[in-house]
Structure 1
């Protein structure tokens, strides 16, 4: 938005970032998603990779399933009881650019002198994958100074505050 005054005329109650964080904003949820993108599907594998408490992992998986980010898919190995694995849905797959952007930030600001612990590469050519800000007219590598936020169709104006005694 072009000014503080413009921004403050609109409510943040229905903010898309806020809504996203309510679903995936907890540390363990993002780490579950990281592991799902790395190919893990089964509870035991998530537990082994993450090392978090089983009840916490169960809660995070359930929440991601409830919100349609993961889906539970039944499987059964020969001679074993039926179990479930967790697969990314289309909704979940669309979080990859956000996770790549977080990883890029971490690679720049939190890694040690040895460099990033993981590199994501394009399967076909082997090139490094990065999240790049672009507009619908194909302008790439936009910076914050090249962007502005404007009220969208779902923007809600802030209700005017009643006049206080001091304003009279």
Structure 2
């Protein structure tokens, strides 16, 4: 697959955007993280046109974020549902960070109906940066991007 930066496979952000960089994609992942699996659930929640939703679901399956599983409702025909893969579940951290950014820099008077919580306690969580070696928390204003090579 040719990447968005002309095939530059070195940049992890460019590689991520090859799968996730289209409008609606992360909103579909958000809904999947909240339990949606069926085409009709995504369409009702997002209001996205059918052909766009079909294309985005296909690209998420191709990108390894979702898997198609067949199901047959009572009296109905066989349909696909879309289940998050491990890669898809890992995007919860990305959405958590994006939501935190929006809360800080693009606040809204309307309260979101989506929260991320610790599963056993129900306590709200936030995205943080930690060092790989010692898992020491690093303040966002102390982060620095370094381009090597």
Instruction: Indicate the TM-score class for this superposition, using the shorter chain for normalisation.
Output: 0.7 to 0.9
Deviation, 1:22, is 1.2
Deviation, 1:129, is 1.2
- Residues 64 and 70, structure 1, Cα contact 8 Å, conserved in 2: yes
- Residues 131 and 138, structure 2, Cα contact 8 Å, conserved in 1: no
Superposed counterparts of 1:57-96, under 5 Å:
57-96=53-92
Deviation, 1:41, is 0.3
The residue aligned with 1:132 is: 128
Deviation, 1:128, is 0.9
Q: Distance in 2 between matches of 1:115 and 1:46?
A: 21
Q: Distance in 1 between matches of 2:116 and 2:106?
A: 17
The residue aligned with 2:3 is: none
Q: Which has the larger radius of gyration?
A: 1
> What is the TM-score normalised by the length of structure 1?
0.76
The residue aligned with 1:20 is: 16
After superposition, what is the alpha-carbon deviation per residue over 1:64-122, rounded to whole angstroms, capped at 9, x for unaligned? 00111100001111211111100000111111101100011112222323554432222
> What is the TM-score normalised by the length of structure 2?
0.85
Q: Size of the alignment, in residue pairs?
A: 141
Aligned-pair Cα RMSD in Å: 1.9
Q: Which has the higher contact order (CA 8 A, sep 6+)?
A: 1
After superposition, what is the alpha-carbon deviation per residue over 1:111-158, rounded to whole angstroms, capped at 9, x for unaligned? 32355443222221121111110012111143343445263xxxxx5x
**Runs (5+) with no aligned partner, structure 2:** 1-6
**Runs (5+) with no aligned partner, structure 1:** 1-11, 152-156, 158-168
